[in-house]
Amino acid sequence: MSELLVNEKEIVIPGEEVAKGMDFLPSMGTFREGESVYAKKLGLLEVKQHVIRIVPLNGYYMPKRGDTIIGVITNTGFSGWTVDIGSPYDANLPVGESVRGRLELLRSDLSRYFDVGDIIVANIYNVTKSKIIQLSMREQGLRKLNGGRIITITPSKVPRLIGKSGSMIVMIKKYTNCDINVGQNGYIWVNGPLEGQYLVEKAVKLIEKEAHLSGLTDKVKEMLEKEGVKNE
């Protein structure tokens, strides 16, 4: 009898037995030994039509309480919203953590406040052991972002993008004439002239590629001075 031994979206370690039986087929990051399927690498278990694979953790955002993130509304529910935050786990934004004043849920159309596709800045209010992520927008500065688009960067490289005392991101704003808001989850909201947005994306890609190298600030500045337009 075939059996999945680990819940989908759970973290597994190399050598861990994740399934028994011939009904499950090993794919990326897994291997079969006898009638069992094992993980080859650290990552998240994913199962689609009995095909098992491991999604590497590198590049994913692992949420922590207190982080300020940028998210995209993906669904409107009865008492709040589901939000994509670049994590393997969706986040929840309850009405009580986002809408000020009393609200009668039975009579309210929540899409009036946030609709699918809206981009928000929020804080991670809580992360449970079962990876239920709760967001809050009660603090000052947490809000819906109008217009613009999202660019992504590996979350571990966000500090390099921001720079010491914000120096890198201030420089990018200066040369691109764009508003930029960086979430700790690696989602970057950019709004401004199209040529400026594409230049921001080019700078982000350069930072992501060469974050480990010295002289990065000078390289980014050289590229921006060559292609960007400064505010006079």
Predicted pLDDT of residue 229: 60
Interatomic CA distance for residues 57 and 41, integer angstroms: 10
Q: Give the per-residue SS3 of the chain.
A: CCEECCCCCCEECCCCEEEECCCCEECCCEEEECCEEEECCCEEEEEECCEEEEEECCCCCCCCCCCEEEEEEEEECCCEEEEECCCCCCEEEEHHHCCCCCCCHHHCCHHHCCCCCCEEEEEEEEECCCCCEEEECCCCCCCEECCCEEEECCHHHHHHHHCHHHHHHHHHHHHHCCEEEECCCCEEEEECCHHHHHHHHHHHHHHHHHCCCCCHHHHHHHHHHHHCCCCC
Predicted pLDDT of residue 104: 55
Print pLDDT tens along the chain (232 aa). 889 999 988 889 999 999 999 999 999 899 999 999 999 988 889 898 899 999 877 778 889 999 999 999 999 988 899 999 999 888 999 998 987 655 555 456 788 889 999 999 999 999 998 889 999 999 999 999 999 999 999 998 999 999 999 999 999 999 999 999 999 999 999 999 999 999 999 999 999 999 888 899 999 999 999 987 655 4
List domains and CATH numbers for the chain.
Answer: 3-56 (2.40.50.100), 68-145 (2.40.50.140), 149-227 (3.30.1370.10)
Predicted pLDDT of residue 111: 84
Predicted pLDDT of residue 106: 47
Predicted model pTM:
0.77
Say which residues have a Cβ less than 8 Å from residue 107's Cβ, sequence separation at least 6.
none
State the amino acid at position 92 in one-letter form: N
